[in-house]
Amino acid sequence: MQQITHDVLIFGTGLAGLRAAVEICIRTKGAADIGIVSKVQVMRSHSVCAEGGTAAVMRPEEGDSLELHAWDTVKGSDFLADQDTVERFVHTSPDEIRLLEHWGVPWSRREDGRIMQRPFGGHSFPRACMAADKTGFSEMQALYDNLLRYRNFRRYDEGFVTSLLLEHGRFAGLTLYDAPTGEFCVLRAKALLIASGGLGNLYGFTTYSQTVTGDGQAMAYRAGLPLEDIEFVQFHPTGLVPSGILMTEGCRGEGGYLRNNKGERFMERYAPKMMELAPRDIVSRAEMTEILEGRGFPGPEGLDYIQLDLTHLGAERINKRLPLIREVCIKFLGLDPITHPIPIRPVAHYSMGGIEADIDGRTKVENIWAAGEAACHSMHGANRLGCNSTAECLVWGGITGNQIAGYLSSGASLSPAPEAQAREEEKRIFEGLLRQTGTEKPALIRRELRTLMDRHAGVFRDGKSLREGLDQLAGLKDRFRRVSVEDKSRIYNSNLIQTLETANMLELVEVLLLSAVAREESRGGHARTDFSVRDDARFLAHTMAYYTGGRPRLDYKPVTITAWKPVERKY
Ligand SMILES: Cc1cc2nc3c(=O)[nH]c(=O)nc-3n(C[C@H](O)[C@H](O)[C@H](O)COP(=O)(O)OP(=O)(O)OC[C@H]3O[C@@H](n4cnc5c(N)ncnc54)[C@H](O)[C@@H]3O)c2cc1C
């Protein structure tokens, strides 16, 4: 089997991975040899879909402050965020905005020429820097352009990482199925950054691209790295019905209303001060309550909905600030938001949890770092504020890039080649999974798994339903042993890739449901109807899940509190 060696491997080329790659190039003056892996073409990473903005304090003189951003983030997290991490984040994100300004992001501008910022949920000051409603795309473009100034990297586009291998407790290699050639190889390096994104596709109704299946988390977990706070999934309040496409929070940031079937702006009853711009967990629960109590609109496929009303904003504002939203509504629904309200409901959107990483992005393994949505630093705690995620990707892309550059220059060495393990992995996939002839279709199992998650681990949860979800999961895992990959060829075998992804998803769903059952309280995005209040005495703690080969072992670790004692959240 071919072995290819680099100084460092970047697993994932979204905002976090690209930002780290650029930082390593800068810090090492282009000397480090970087391998960059993505299962899709670089610019098709989910980060290009980010719409609404990136949070940073840019105008202290107009009343914003780092303390206020930190407080909003900590309160938004329902006090589960590690506060030292949050403080580092708010201090660093303004620099990232300025860097991207220099690197070519066309930030939307105010009349006076300064970077425009719009209001976003849970932020008490307009903090979302944006490039209209295509922010992620512009940021990715700028980072990629910058990377091209260096020649010291090799891209593995459409290379699917199947496993993460350690030798003597250190990172030794990634096994890669290179879809265009059908080759299977080992990528070795002195250091690894996992920046493989979120896990949105565990749900059927999601804003995420089909590719976001939590592979990095599942592989890290199997390799012995703990997963932190996986039960916390964010439901965004405005997913387009019935596709789930995101209608950015920028719609409400620009002044959009949410209305029930009586025409009421119902947020008055749930968050009288912040109304539509309360944090996402609160708005999503309010919408579900309206729907469950019969004040929604009947929708297709059982997807009853609420209306997002932009009609009072006027054509000019919508065309200038929300052009993508208008285009998507017209193309997907034949509906023009200038004249008609948009049908929306809560949709699975973000994973607050991930691979445990410290404030420098370091994992439990000496030469592995994690950044972006795959990681849990933990700065979002139980609920992330809008536009804090792209900012987090940039901040920790920069931090981990810097850390890794330092590590490389301190004489880091390669671990022994993980040859035996890699051969095992090749056998598992090409002699096992690909050859076996079973009766089960992987696509069906995947679909049923996602429906299970929609039903049993949604906006509202309870112990009985979560346990039913676990029982059904056991059935799906059993059926998965008998799957048959229909396409037996080596080249561009998307059937095989989706089967490998489904295996990862099955693993993560088990961790998520078990962590959710164990957390007998309601906090942020985790709302239990059978334990409806926050329980700081028992659960002001991060859930840690460890791989055992069987059911995960759960443990807890304390939250870092520096300045802000937990209080009741009111908006
Ligand atoms: C529609 C949408 C809109 C959003 N809008 C905003 C916003 O306005 N503001 C905000 O702050 N946040 C927003 N978010 C959230 C934010 O965009 C994401 O959290 C963030 O972009 C994630 O970036 P990342 O670098 O961690 O991963 P991603 O951009 O998801 O990239 C993951 C990378 O890992 C690679 N990868 C994964 N698995 C494998 C594998 N097995 N083998 C090889 N490669 C693999 C992928 O190919 C990809 O390159 C939005 C999210 C969505 C879905």
pLDDT digits (tens, 9 = 90+) for 435-453: 999 999 999 999 999 999 9
- The 10s digit of each residue's pLDDT in 241-254 is 999 999 999 999 99
Among 328, 347, 366, the domain boundary falls at 347
pTM of the model: 0.97
CATH code of the domain covering residue 509: 1.20.58.100
Mean pLDDT of the chain: 97
Q: Report in angstroms the alpha-carbon separations of 363 from 43, 226, 272, 404.
A: 27, 9, 41, 12
Is 15 a pocket residue for ligand 1 (Cβ < 6 Å)?
Answer: yes
Claim to verify: residue 241 and residue 342 sit in the same structural domain: yes
Is 379 a pocket residue for ligand 1 (Cβ < 6 Å)?
Answer: no
Q: What is the residue whose two structure tokens read 């659960």?
A: 539
| Residue 250 DSSP SS3 | helix
What does the alpha-carbon distance between residue 283 and residue 266 come to, in Å, rounded to a whole number? 10
**What is the domain extent for residue 442?**
419-534
Claim to verify: residue 343 and residue 426 sit in the same structural domain: no
- The 10s digit of each residue's pLDDT in 263-307 is 999 999 999 999 999 999 999 999 999 999 999 999 998 999 999
Please state the rounded mean pLDDT for residues 496-515: 98
Q: Is residue 465 part of a domain?
A: yes
Q: For residue 31, what are the contacts with CB-CB under 8 A and spacing of at least 6?
A: 152
Q: Distance from the CA of 207 to the center of ligand 1, in angstroms?
A: 11
Nearest CA to ligand 1 atom 39: 39
pLDDT for residue 182: 97
Among 284, 317, 347, the domain boundary falls at 347
Please state the rounded mean pLDDT for residues 119-124: 93
pLDDT for residue 361: 98
Catalytic residues: 236, 252
Q: What is the residue whose two structure tokens read 């039903």?
A: 455
Claim to verify: residue 327 and residue 428 sit in the same structural domain: no
Nearest atom (ligand 1) to Cα of 15? 25
pLDDT for residue 556: 98
Largest separation between any pair of C-alpha atoms in the chain: 67
Q: For residue 265, what are the contacts with CB-CB under 8 A and spacing of at least 6?
A: 257, 258, 259, 275, 276
Q: Percentage of the chain surpassing pLDDT 70?
A: 100
**Domains: count for the chain:** 2
Q: Is residue 53 part of a domain?
A: no
Please state the rounded mean pLDDT for residues 99-110: 96
Nearest CA to ligand 1 atom 8: 52
- Is 526:229 a contact under the CB 8 Å cutoff? no
Please state the rounded mean pLDDT for residues 319-328: 95
Q: Is residue 298 part of a domain?
A: yes
pLDDT for residue 222: 98
pLDDT for residue 314: 96
Please state the rounded mean pLDDT for residues 454-463: 98
Q: Is residue 119 part of a domain?
A: no
| Closest to 295 in 3D by CA, of 264, 334, 330, 338 | 264
Is 274 a pocket residue for ligand 1 (Cβ < 6 Å)?
Answer: no
- Is 385:524 a contact under the CB 8 Å cutoff? no
Helices 15-27 and 135-147 cross at an angle (nearest 10°) of: 30
Please state the rounded mean pLDDT for residues 518-524: 98
Is 12 a pocket residue for ligand 1 (Cβ < 6 Å)?
Answer: yes
pLDDT for residue 187: 98
Claim to verify: residue 339 and residue 444 sit in the same structural domain: no
CATH code of the domain covering residue 269: 3.90.700.10
Number of other CB atoms surrounding residue 149 within 10 Å = 11
Claim to verify: residue 436 and residue 331 sit in the same structural domain: no
**Helix segments in 148-214, DSSP class H:** none
Task: For residue 246, list its beta bridge partners.
Answer: 239
Claim to verify: residue 239 and residue 319 sit in the same structural domain: yes
Q: Distance from the CA of 47 to the center of ligand 1, in angstroms?
A: 4
Number of other CB atoms surrounding residue 306 within 10 Å = 29
Is 37 a pocket residue for ligand 1 (Cβ < 6 Å)?
Answer: yes
What does the alpha-carbon distance between residue 469 and residue 353 come to, in Å, rounded to a whole number? 20
Q: Is residue 190 part of a domain?
A: no
What does the alpha-carbon distance between residue 343 and residue 329 come to, in Å, rounded to a whole number? 10
Q: For residue 484, what are the contacts with CB-CB under 8 A and spacing of at least 6?
A: 436, 437, 438, 439, 440, 441
**Residue 428: DSSP 8-state:** I
Q: Is residue 365 part of a domain?
A: no
Nearest CA to ligand 1 atom 37: 196
Is 195 a pocket residue for ligand 1 (Cβ < 6 Å)?
Answer: yes
Claim to verify: residue 343 and residue 427 sit in the same structural domain: no
Claim to verify: residue 423 and residue 328 sit in the same structural domain: no
| Closest to 363 in 3D by CA, of 552, 172, 227, 173 | 227
Claim to verify: residue 529 and residue 428 sit in the same structural domain: yes
| Closest to 60 in 3D by CA, of 131, 107, 117 | 117
Is 68 a pocket residue for ligand 1 (Cβ < 6 Å)?
Answer: no
**Residue 259: DSSP 8-state:** E
What does the alpha-carbon distance between residue 271 and residue 267 come to, in Å, rounded to a whole number? 6
Claim to verify: residue 336 and residue 425 sit in the same structural domain: no
| Closest to 452 in 3D by CA, of 513, 497, 514, 501 | 513
Among 347, 375, 405, the domain boundary falls at 347
| Closest to 368 in 3D by CA, of 230, 223, 501 | 223
Most informative mutation of 155, 232, 389, 393 for ligand 1 (most atoms within 8 A of CB): 389
Claim to verify: residue 431 and residue 325 sit in the same structural domain: no
Continuous segment of H or E residues that includes residue 55: strand 54-55
| Closest to 222 in 3D by CA, of 506, 546, 554, 510 | 546
Please state the rounded mean pLDDT for residues 70-83: 98
Q: Is residue 373 part of a domain?
A: no
- Is 285:524 a contact under the CB 8 Å cutoff? no
Claim to verify: residue 327 and residue 424 sit in the same structural domain: no
Q: Distance from the CA of 40 to the center of ligand 1, in angstroms?
A: 12
CA dihedral 273→275→277→283, nearest 10 degrees, is 120
The distance in angstroms from the start CA to the end CA of the chain is: 58
Q: For residue 490, what are the contacts with CB-CB under 8 A and spacing of at least 6?
A: 182
pLDDT for residue 417: 97
Q: Report in angstroms the alpha-carbon separations of 412 from 151, 192, 404, 407.
A: 22, 12, 10, 6
Q: Is residue 29 part of a domain?
A: no
